[in-house]
């Protein structure tokens, strides 16, 4: 060691109390950072769960609102069938085709085990659009023969979807993270 530095007091015997105080402050800072990180992780997980529950609730509410639409579409189609009204039947078939795709998407968001029902709803919508195409442009088509099966299918799907919507509502009532 340089004798000049020693004579000026530059060499110390060991860490001083400022060093220990700095070390303690650093340790406390790391501990606070760790606690905040842990709290942030828990808050993010809670927010993700709440977002998922909100998405299920909104999709369930939209499905609930779609049920009367299906019943009205079936009634409109039945009236068109009994009156052999091609234009009214075509409008009802197009509306059902679009509604079926929307309902299928909503159902896929809400109910995990409903893939088969989703496929059937979307396929029924596609068939309705095909029937509409077969009615379009024909002079005096037989609406009853062409659209009666779709009307029956709408009724059957409407009943099944009503049961699924009831199950979704029950699940949401039991979920504490969903506010009503």
Residue 17 in domain: no
Residue 146 in domain: yes
Residue 27 in domain: no
Beta-carbon contacts of 77 under 8 Å, excluding residues fewer than 6 positions away, are 89, 92, 93, 96, 147, 150, 151, 154
**pLDDT: which is higher, 104 or 53:** 104
Residue 147 in domain: yes
Beta-carbon contacts of 127 under 8 Å, excluding residues fewer than 6 positions away, are 150, 153
Pick the closest to residue 179 from 72, 88, 57 (CA basis): 57
Q: Supply the range of the domain harboring residue 123.
A: 53-174
Predicted confidence at residue 7, as pLDDT, reads 57
What's the token pair of residue 31? 């501990």
Strand stretches in the chain, DSSP E: none
CB 63 within 8 A of CB 161: yes
What's the token pair of residue 3? 């004798």
pLDDT digits (tens, 9 = 90+) for 34-75: 999 999 999 999 999 888 888 888 888 888 888 899 999 999
CA distance 121 to 8: 90
Residue 4 in domain: no
Across the chain, mean pLDDT equals: 85
Residue 28 in domain: no
CA distance 103 to 65: 10
Residue 5 in domain: no
CA distance 57 to 63: 10
**pLDDT: which is higher, 89 or 110:** 89
CA distance 30 to 85: 77
CA distance 110 to 165: 10
CA distance 13 to 164: 78
Residue 47 in domain: no
The structure's pTM equals: 0.69
Q: How many domains does the chain have?
A: 1
What's the token pair of residue 55? 């998405």
pLDDT digits (tens, 9 = 90+) for 129-158: 999 998 887 888 888 888 999 999 999 999
Tell me the CATH number at 132.
1.20.120
Question: Could you tell me the pLDDT band of residue 180, with boundaries at 50, 70 and 90?
Answer: low
């Amino acid at each position: 060691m340089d004798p000049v530095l020693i004579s000026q007091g530059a060499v110390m015997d060991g860490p001083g109390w400022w060093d220990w105080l700095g070390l303690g402050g650093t340790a406390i800072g790391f501990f606070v950072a760790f606690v905040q990180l842990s709290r942030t992780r828990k808050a993010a997980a809670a927010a993700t769960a709440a977002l998922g529950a909100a998405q299920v609730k909104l999709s369930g509410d939209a499905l609930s609102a779609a049920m009367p639409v299906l019943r009205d579409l079936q009634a409109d189609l039945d009236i068109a069938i009994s009156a052999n009204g091609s234009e009214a039947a075509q409008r009802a078939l197009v509306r059902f085709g679009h509604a079926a795709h929307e309902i299928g998407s909503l159902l896929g968001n809400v109910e995990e085990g409903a893939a088969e029902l989703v496929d059937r709803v979307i396929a029924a919508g596609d068939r309705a659009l095909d029937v509409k195409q077969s009615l379009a442009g024909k002079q005096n088509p037989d609406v009853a023969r062409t659209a009666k099966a779709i009307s029956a299918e709408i009724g059957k799907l409407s009943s099944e979807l009503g049961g699924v919507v009831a199950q979704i509502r029950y699940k949401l009532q039991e979920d504490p993270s969903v506010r009503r």
